[in-house]
Amino acid sequence: MKIGLLTSGGDCPGLNAVIRGAVLNGVKKYGYEFVGFRDGWRGVVDGDFMDLPRTKVRGLASQGGTIIGTSRTNPFDGPNGGPENIEIMMERHGIDAIVAIGGEGTLAGAKRLADAGLPVIGVPKTIDNDLRATDYTFGFDTAVSIATEAMDRIRTTGESHHRCMVAEVMGRHVGWIALNSGMASGAHAILIPEVKVSMDEVCQWVKEVHDRGRSPWWWLRKGSSPKALTRSWRIRVPKKTGGPAWVVSVNTLPTRLRPAPVLKPATPSWGIFSAVAHQPVLTGCWQPAWVWARWIW
The residues assigned a catalytic role are: 128
Within 13 Å and on the Cβ side, how many CA atoms surround 65?
Answer: 5
Cα dist. 258→72, 149, 194, 211 in Å?
22, 29, 10, 35
49 by DSSP, 3-state: which?
strand
Closest CA to 42 of 125, 2, 91, 102: 102
Name 124's Cβ contacts closer than 8 Å, sequence gap at least 6. 103, 107, 131, 133, 134, 137, 138
Beta strands in 125-223 (DSSP E): 165-169, 189-191, 217-221
Name 76's Cβ contacts closer than 8 Å, sequence gap at least 6. 82, 109, 112
Instruction: List, in sequence order, every residue forming a beta bridge with 217; answer none if it has no partner.
Output: 165
Distance between CA atoms of 264 and 125, rounded to whole angstroms? 14
Residue 219 in contact with residue 190, Cβ under 8 Å? yes
Secondary element (H or E) of residue 121: strand 120-124
Distance between CA atoms of 174 and 163, rounded to whole angstroms? 27
